[in-house]
Structure 1
Amino acid sequence: MSGTITLTRRSGFQLRPRAYKVWIDGISVGRLAQNGAAEFAVDPGVHLVELSLDGMYSKKVQVEVREGATRRLHCGANGPLAFSAFGLLLPGLAIKLTLTH
């Protein structure tokens, strides 16, 4: 049996409303649209989740998933400057990803 990682994304301030690329354990597993949600089945254990878009990315979030359980993360832009020149200088600060449950 597997567990689930669920991601949600609110619109907020977005200069780039395209879908974020979702990475789990360094593997591209799908996309997450603006105002969207996505679910990914994973084996039980510890996983690293990260999002990216145009060379910008979130910090990697470590998530422990138990068999049959769902872990939820939420993401969005890390403020109005995230996708400006400031975001290009510090690409790891552009996307905010947080574990909610």
Structure 2
Amino acid sequence: MTKIIVRRRKAIWQDRGRKYTVLLDGREIARVANGSEVEFDVDPGKHTVQMQIDWCHSEKFALDVRLAEPVILECGPNASPFSAIFYITLRKNNYIWLRGWRDVNV
């Protein structure tokens, strides 16, 4: 098993009181609050991770998970209070940003 850690960057305004759903291979696996992190174990192999809130979400992040190599993902809102209408209507597939890297010191 390998560990995936999802860290949600603390937002001052946007979505600060709501949790993001973590989807692993299309299935809900966890929820992460503003400024916190969740971790879960996955089998080695190819996986996708996506963040979601209501009908808005991030792009899918493809992973090729290797045994004993933890993966760290970080996310946060692309929208601000001023651009929220734009993101929830025209850019709902990119409402949340999601990026990641490997860290052997986790």
Q: TM-score, normalised by structure 1?
A: 0.90
Q: CA deviation at 1:97?
A: 0.2
Partner of 1:11: 10
Partner of 1:21: 21
Contact 2:6 2:73 in 1 (8 A): yes
Q: CA deviation at 1:83?
A: 6.5
Contact 1:4 1:65 in 2 (8 A): no
Contact 1:9 1:34 in 2 (8 A): yes
SS in 1 for 2:39: strand
Partner of 1:32: 32
SS in 1 for 2:87: helix
SS in 2 for 1:29: strand
Partner of 1:68: 68
Structure 1 residues 82 and 98, CA, compared in 2 at 3 Å: closer, same or farther? farther
Distance 2:7 2:62 in 1: 17
Per-residue CA deviation, residues 38-57 of structure 1 (Å, 9 max, x unaligned), is 11100001110000001110
Provide the identity percentage.
30
Contact 1:73 1:99 in 2 (8 A): yes
Deviating 4+ runs (over 6 angstroms): none
State the superposition RMSD in angstroms: 1.7
Counting matched residue pairs gives 100
Gaps of at least 5 residues in structure 1 are: none
Q: CA deviation at 1:14?
A: 3.5
Gaps of at least 5 residues in structure 2 are: none
Per-residue CA deviation, residues 49-75 of structure 1 (Å, 9 max, x unaligned), is 000001110000001111122011100
Distance 1:41 1:12 in 2: 26
Partner of 2:51: 51
